[in-house]
Amino acid sequence: MPTVYPAEHSEAAFLTDAFLKWLSVRRDSPWFAHFVFLRPHPPLIAPEPYNALVDPAAVSLPARAASLAEEKRQHPMLAYELDRISVPGGYDEHSPFDPVSANELEIRQMRATYYGLIAEVDHHLGRIIEHLKRTGEYDRTLIIVTSDHAEMLGEHHAWGKEVYFDGAFHLPLVIRDPRADADAARGTTVEVFTELST
């Protein structure tokens, strides 16, 4: 089911509209913005057409142990977290749904909706980039796209970010540096562990 509001009234659309309005009066002066999309994030419900963009039947099931009991035996912290998100509001504070005990169809639908929410964010990022190109700012704007955390999406029966698996920590980081001297590193993919040391 889609949201009760149309896509043009979603959080992502509202924030992008406000940001583009803010940008419109800064064309000729330097600016910095830390722009944050809430989505994709629970509750996993998307406006049309993003709610049906990905067919749940085409979505792979998450990697997990054969049973919830077997998964919990890995570590007490994992058992605690799986119990915590099983209670009403444990994963999505607005929903009594238990994602840990979800059936195959529900899991596929949740993952498909999450991917639809990603597509919605991609659309609105595209609007921002088009604005920068149209106004001539693209070639003098450093763009960094990242995330504060990842989402387990049912891997190891877990949802959210409060576990120790790689899936909770694999974050996107895309940097578009318009400077000519950045060409040497352009297109580089870093596959090694990366951290900030203090």
Bridge partner list, 175: 144
pLDDT band at 197 (very low <50, low <70, confident <90, very high): low
pLDDT value of position 198: 55
The whole-angstrom separation of Cα 156 and Cα 1 is 26
Q: What is the dihedral of CA 7, 12, 17, 22, to 10 degrees?
A: 180
pLDDT in tens, 9-55: 999 999 999 999 999 999 888 999 999 999 999 999 999 999 999 99
pLDDT value of position 93: 86
Nearest to 37 by CA among 63, 17, 61: 17
Report pTM.
0.89
pLDDT in tens, 153-188: 999 999 999 999 989 988 888 889 998 776 666 677
pLDDT value of position 189: 76
CB 110 within 8 A of CB 42: no
- The whole-angstrom distance between residue 60's C-alpha and the CA centroid of its chain comes to 18
pLDDT in tens, 116-141: 999 999 999 999 999 999 999 999 99
pLDDT value of position 170: 85
pLDDT value of position 190: 74
The whole-angstrom separation of Cα 45 and Cα 68 is 25
CB 155 within 8 A of CB 165: yes
Q: Encoding tokens for residue 121?
A: 């964010």
Higher pLDDT, 189 or 62: 62
